[in-house]
Amino acid sequence: MTEPINVPVSAPQGLAGQEGHVTENAEPVRPEVQWPDPATPTGDPLVDRALAVLDNVPATHVAEHGDLYAAVHDSLLEALDAEPGLPAAPQSTPRPEGDS
């Protein structure tokens, strides 16, 4: 749902162009997104590989974030299920929606 923007059509004198204010025929200035720093390596290669997928979040369209987070979740589950010292299990196939 789109919320109405309750700002004056032209900014008060002295505020034109400042953040959050609107001038005639201009969009409000939006703050830049502050993304978290990349994950600190954990020392577990399976966990580090799963968390590395999160580095793609800023470049991924918002509509695709759910799939990206689901992939990280599944990779972390595989890391938890892995036996220490044994090779990693093959990547699982994506589960159908609603399957847990």
Write out pLDDT tens, residues 48-85. Answer: 999 999 998 889 999 999 999 999 999 999 999 887 76
Concatenated DSSP letters of the chain: -PPP--S-SSPPTT-TTSTT---TT-PPPPPPP-PPPPPPP-S-HHHHHHHHGGGGGGGS-GGGHHHHHHHHHHHHHHHHHSPTTSPPPPPPPPPPTT--
Write out pLDDT tens, residues 3-47. Answer: 556 655 554 554 444 555 555 667 888 888 888 888 899 999 999
pTM of the entire predicted model: 0.52
